[in-house]
Structure 1
């Protein structure tokens, strides 16, 4: 379900850089982290954020830092992060697409640099000081060079996220028609076949030993 004539603007293709890295990754710990990363991103896009906080995926008190849209924010603890995800899902702003993504994985973190697209409501943009011509419309916000750093603990559980937009001045907005807007529910249905259960960490490490 691509939009704007761009085949990359299909939520089912958002994790393709992870798939490509998995093809050449043999370290069992790194593979497990990439599986968790893949699952997290699709759960988020599909509005199934509650599942992200399963005890085998995320620590009890995650810490998120954002430097995006000219704003700085810190989300401290599961309830704060859940509230953030819930607001996105309920307003259909959990929809992300990526282009030109590069991903690196180490023993305790995953890093990504990509051109990011987010389906964003006009009122949200205006509230963040970004001018729009219609606060009741949805826009596709494109930002190149977005940097994400996701730390993981020794059991490959997400500790938090650090997200920056060092090239935020290059942000562009494309107003979407009603037929181009994807709801979180629609995204969830599209992604459901791609969201696989996470393997047991201990068993995965033993199987790969």
Structure 2
């Protein structure tokens, strides 16, 4: 049995949803929650629905000593596609995530664990068993900006303390496939709220 439970990755988000009353803040938290679950379930194409993400999002990553900018939907989809194909879309949090939300952004600080094949780490110069699977533990800040329709504009993600980075070997019984992740998360993936307080319009729910 795994030490980690992917259904608990968004627990801090869901707790904040329960106590948030501002309609715009609540809408963004639901969008953030849906996005993260879709990503971890391997359903990344649904993230780019026109009511969730702008046509040309821009992502900035400063991780593992690399500073990368992904400009445009196709560039971002390429990373999601790679992560889904290698089950790197499987993430866990350390139960310490802190969140703040405003009308224009969501800010997160958390210990994150990304499931990563040893072969990917070897290619990055990390001396591990290429046939094993690991968790990459990092301490990260994230800023997700949103536009005036409540759509994601991009992500700014950075590892702010490299001294806390760890490579944790997983027993084969702890490795989660994308298919398993999708089945576990499917009941938790909810449509966006029908009423969008940013546009003042009621929108047709998107099926989960």
Q: State TM-score, norm by structure 2.
A: 0.91
CA distance in 2, matches of 1:187, 1:153: 30
2:126 to 119, 123, 130: 130
Shift of 1:199: 2.4
2:65 to 64, 70, 84: 70
CA distance in 2, matches of 1:168, 1:129: 16
CA distance in 2, matches of 1:203, 1:49: 25
CA distance in 2, matches of 1:168, 1:101: 18
Is the Cα–Cα contact under 8 Å of residues 155 and 201 in structure 1 kept in the other structure? no
1:143 paired with 2:138, answer yes
CA distance in 2, matches of 1:162, 1:55: 20
Shift of 1:204: 8.3
Residue ranges of structure 1 left out of the alignment (5+ in a row): none
Shift of 1:140: 1.1
Is the Cα–Cα contact under 8 Å of residues 69 and 128 in structure 1 kept in the other structure? no
CA distance in 2, matches of 1:116, 1:105: 19
Q: How does 1:99-178 map to 2 (within 5 A)?
A: 99=94, 100-132=96-128, 134-144=129-139, 146-178=140-172
1:188 to 179, 182, 185: 182
Moved over 2 A (4+): 126-131, 199-207
Counterpart for residue 26 of structure 1: 21
Is the Cα–Cα contact under 8 Å of residues 13 and 99 in structure 2 kept in the other structure? yes
Counterpart for residue 204 of structure 2: none
Is the Cα–Cα contact under 8 Å of residues 148 and 198 in structure 2 kept in the other structure? no
SS at match of 1:35: helix
CA deviations over 1:143-183 (Å, ceiling 9, x no partner): 13x10000000111000000000112321111112211101
Q: Give me the CA root mean square deviation.
A: 1.8
Is the Cα–Cα contact under 8 Å of residues 135 and 167 in structure 2 kept in the other structure? yes
Counterpart for residue 51 of structure 1: 46
| Comparing 179-188 and 118-127, the one that deviates more | 118-127
Q: State TM-score, norm by structure 1.
A: 0.91
Shift of 1:11: 0.7
CA deviations over 1:6-47 (Å, ceiling 9, x no partner): xxx211001110111112211000000000000000000000
CA distance in 1, matches of 2:29, 2:182: 20
1:86 to 76, 81, 85: 81
Residue ranges of structure 2 left out of the alignment (5+ in a row): 202-208
